[in-house]
Chains A and B, each alone.
Chain A
Amino acid sequence: MASRRSLGSRRWAGLTALVFVTAGSAFAHDVRGTLTGADALSPAPRTTPTRWRGSFWEVPNGALAITSPRANVERDLAVVLTGSSVEQSRQPVTVSVEGGRCRPGTVLLSPGTTLTLDNQDLLAHEFYAVRTGQEERVVPAEVTAVRTRRQVSLPAAGTYELRDARQPSFRCWLVAGAGQGRVLPPDRTGAFVATGLEDGSYTVKAYFEGVERASAEVAVAGRETTVTLAIGAASAPASAPVSAPATPAEAEEQRHHRRRDH
């Protein structure tokens, strides 16, 4: 008898949980978005020390025109969603460093948050941090070997540059301030998605090199919502029709044509 009662209570408990999950799913919605105009972004040239030389030779190939540096959408841009039901960035924030970049290129975090730099690069780095536009090191230089981590903490709100004493070309920006939300990593076409959002108002922002380049208000109300973040132009209204994205290969082909024309 006891075992029958126990089996029955388990069935009730499972049924109750199923009902709650179904109900929750009915109120959670996704926001899908697209970044446009990112191809127009060019990385700002970096100031290199006087004696620093990156190579003996850097010459054009002689057959095809050199392409100008372009922003890498999936790595250099950061999309952040903020809103009443979005959790703030968690402690510690871990940033992957690979290929001479951190991903995302702009890291958003709250002041005092511990930032873990995970060096997944081929080469060792010697990171230090300065406030944008200043040269005083707020985080001292220290070698971070390949496949090791280093934890740093930013003292106050503001925009910082994470630099590499060995490679002046290294790029990474840190934005410390209140109200940082959920990071939505874009893919190479600029598409991003936020899942499991409750109904309400949200804000989506795009950052490049530590600067907010686009933002849009999103109202989630009972269905999937789309948004287009147009960099360099006014943001498209929420729930606007989603333009059919090109396949990755097509997008790459288009980029090649642009480079060639350039």
Chain B
Amino acid sequence: MLFSRFWMVLLVLVAGASVAAMTMARKTYDHDRASDVAVMVDSDRRMVEEFLRRDARTRLDDLGPLASDTSLVSLMVTATRRTSDTPAAIGPAISTRLRELNLGLGPLRGEVLFAVDPRGLIVGRVGLQENEVGQFVGGLPLVERAIAGNVRDDLWEISGTAYRMAARPVISDGRYYVGAVVHGLAIQPRFVETVAQLIPGASVIFFGVGQTYGGFTPVPERGGVAAPPIGSLADPLRTLGQRSEWTTRGAVSFDLPEQGGRVAYAALPGSVGAGIAVGRGLPSMPPDFLLRASKDDVGRVPFAAILSAVAGLILAGFALFYWEYDSKRKRLIAAMRELQSGPANRVDPLLLDGFARDVAVAANEGIDEVVKREIGRSGGKLRSVNDLESLLSNAGEVPGSAADARLPLNEADEQRQWREVFEQFVARRRECGEAVDDVTWDRFSSTLQKSRAEVVSRARSRSALFTVVVKDGRAAVKAAPLG
């Protein structure tokens, strides 16, 4: 009982665990992918920063030949030695030379290019506010450090546009600083797209204080995960300052639950408080993922192991059921318990086989002997089958006298017993709602005689004991060997 029930519980547990595992697998997959995306977004952010760092170095290096151009150096020396406060006289010549040199930079041609004298005044200018000279810029960190001899980059915002700036000192004869050249490239949509191509599948924005300089959102590949749109990357900028990681490290990443994405922000070096943000969509396993399985996916399932496990469980179930319900031993025990609890007064050997039948027959014989002895001792008063219980209950008190207790003493006695059985049978049929009109004593006694003969010949007994039972809602007569 216990083991078969345990097996049922096991089956239910296995079924429940399968459903739970299926659900959990989706969640686990989503969680793992979210962790992967978090790592990926941080990696994207670092990759963009590294690209911008290298880009700055490239611009600084490419500015080298321009800063050492002999014509420009000569003009800068003249500008440095001028006596007037304003560089208006030398300005046009320097601007012209800067324009020529700028064209030679090719793809790095600056949208902003100007030369500064050692006092920090612009002495030549190309691009933005072209040819305007005399403005003091020497206190700006980029210019101040370049005039002092450093090669430096920066990020500026001029009229709402962000510029990647680079500056180099201009040196005369290898002995004197005569100013610096300052070069700037705007962060245009094309540049943003170039950056975004470094990290396929991710959105990128460049932002400043209260504004976005540019952004790019890739078109998702078929079946791919859509990256968060530019707007959703820009929205958290308002509250970025409230995040401690941002204020202490200048970099922070977090989920965007509403957009189903992950985003990382990083402050960029420079004078405008600018930064970059990269974002990726969070993949999730669809509910119908089983239907999307390919042949390869199906081929990877260990069907042999799974079927073996299922077959093993089924066999184990059968074995447990047989052990607990269908084995000879269990059937004999059940018959004995039925005998003990009633209403049967004998064990039916026909329901058993093998050693269990022998045990049942021996038990019946024992009961008969007890009954016989009890009847003998009582002087024949106890002659009814209905007295068996009282006989058996006293079996211990009259040992060896009940073996033939239920054997009819003569034919008339047997007929009387059969008549009682007949009356019980008719009564049971009525109780069960069965028709009793066609049940006659003659037919009934004739059937009992045939049945007794069969039992006697089959069980090699001296007689047969008939009892009325109700089985499946119908009255029936059960025959058992007697004597």
User: Chain A interface (Cβ within 8 Å of chain B)?
Assistant: 50-61, 63-69, 72, 74-75, 98-101, 103, 120-124, 126, 143, 146, 165-167, 169-171, 187-188, 247-249, 252-253, 255-256, 259-260
Q: Contacts A124-B157, A248-B83, A260-B175 known; A99 to B138 CB distance under 8 Å?
A: yes
Contact of A166 among B52, B80, B168, B271 (CB under 8 A): B271
Assess whether B144 is interfacial by the CB under 8 Å rule.
yes
Chain A residue at smallest Cβ distance from B68: A63
A51-B249, A123-B156 given as contacts; is B135 within 8 A of A65 (CB)? no
Whose C-beta in chain B lies nearest to the C-beta of A50? B248
Cβ-defined contact, A56 with B272, below 8 A: no
Cα–Cα, bound, A249→B85 (Å): 10
Q: Which residues in B have their C-beta under 8 angstroms from that of A74?
A: 119
- By beta carbon, the residue of chain A nearest B80 is A252
Asked if A51 and B142 make an inter-chain contact with CB atoms under 8 angstroms apart, the answer reads no
Kindly count the residue-residue contacts between A and B in the assembled complex, taking CB atoms under 8 Å apart: 163
B56 at the interface (CB under 8 A from A): yes
Q: Known contacts A53-B269, A72-B119, A166-B271; decide if A64 and B154 are in contact (CB<8 Å).
A: no
Determine the distance from Cα of A154 to Cα of B271 in the docked complex, in whole angstroms.
26
Chain A residues within an 8 Å CB radius of B209: 126, 143, 166
**A98: shortest Cβ distance to chain B, in Å?**
5
Shortest 7 CB-CB distances between A and B: which pairs? A100-B139, A51-B250, A101-B139, A53-B269, A99-B136, A99-B139, A249-B81
Taking a contact as CB atoms under 8 Å apart, the answer to whether A67 and B152 are in contact is no
Alpha-carbon separation in the docked complex, A56 to B58 (Å):
12
Q: Roughly how many angstroms separate A142 CA and B119 CA in the complex, as a whole number?
A: 29
Among B157-199, those with CB < 8 Å from A are: 157-159, 168-169, 171, 174-177
Asked if B34 CB lies within 8 Å of chain A CBs, one says: no
The distance in angstroms between the C-alpha atoms of A66 and B144, with both chains bound, is 12
B52 partner residues in chain A, CB cutoff 8 A: 56
User: Can you show 8 pairs from A to B with CB atoms below 8 A apart?
Assistant: A50-B248, A53-B267, A57-B151, A61-B169, A64-B177, A66-B148, A255-B118, A260-B175
Interchain CB contact under 8 A, B141 and A72? no
Minimum CB distance partner of B140 in chain A: A100
Least Cβ distance of A56 to chain B in Å?
A: 4
Task: Collect the chain B residues with CB atoms within 8 Å of residue A59's CB.
Answer: 150-152
B residues within 8 Å of A by Cβ?
Answer: 52-53, 56-57, 60, 80-83, 85, 118-120, 135-145, 148-154, 156-159, 168-169, 171, 174-177, 209-210, 247-250, 267, 269-273
* Cβ–Cβ contact A188 & B119, under 8 A: yes
Q: For B175, give its contact among A64, A122, A247 (CB under 8 Å).
A: A64
Q: Is the CB of B81 within 8 A of A252?
A: yes
- The A contact surface, by secondary structure, is loop
Query: Across the two chains, which residue of chain A brings its CB closest to B269?
Result: A53
Q: Which residues on the B side are within 8 Å of A55 (C-beta)? A: 56, 141-142, 152-154, 269-270
A125 to B: closest C-beta gap in Å? 10
Once A61-B168, A69-B144, A260-B176 are accepted as A-B contacts, the answer to whether A122 and B158 lie under 8 Å apart by CB is: yes
Q: In the complex, what residues of A have CB within 8 A of residue B141's CB? A: 54-55, 100, 167, 169
If A61-B149, A100-B139, A255-B118 touch, whether A56 touches B57 (CB-CB below 8 Å) is yes
Q: CB-CB < 8 A to A66: which residues of B?
A: 148-150
Q: In the docked arrangement, what's the CA distance between A249 and B140, Å?
A: 23
Q: Collect the chain A residues with CB atoms within 8 Å of residue B271's CB.
A: 54, 123, 166-167
Q: Is A249 in contact with B83, judged by CB distance below 8 angstroms? A: yes
The chain A residue with its CB closest to the CB of B141 is A169
Evaluate contact between A58 and B118: CB separation under 8 angstroms.
Answer: no
Complex contacts, B171 vs chain A, CB 8 Å: 61, 63-64
Most chain A CB within 10 A, of B118, B141, B210, is at B141
**Besides A63-B174, A121-B137, A143-B209, 20 other CB < 8 A contacts?**
A55-B56, A55-B153, A55-B269, A56-B269, A58-B153, A59-B151, A64-B149, A64-B169, A69-B144, A75-B139, A98-B139, A99-B135, A100-B138, A122-B140, A123-B272, A126-B209, A146-B159, A169-B139, A169-B141, A260-B175
> Are B144 and A169 within 8 A (Cβ)?
yes
- Inter-chain CA distance A54–B141, complex, in Å, is 8
Candidates B56, B60, B83, B120; contact of A247 at CB < 8 Å: B83
Across-interface contacts of A51 in B (CB, < 8 A): 247-250, 267
A71 to B374, CA, bound (A): 135
Compute how far the CA of A55 lies from the CA of B139 in the bound complex, rounded to whole angstroms.
Answer: 15
Given contacts A122-B140, A123-B272, contact A57 B56 (CB under 8 A): yes
Interface contact A67-B153, CB-CB below 8 Å: no
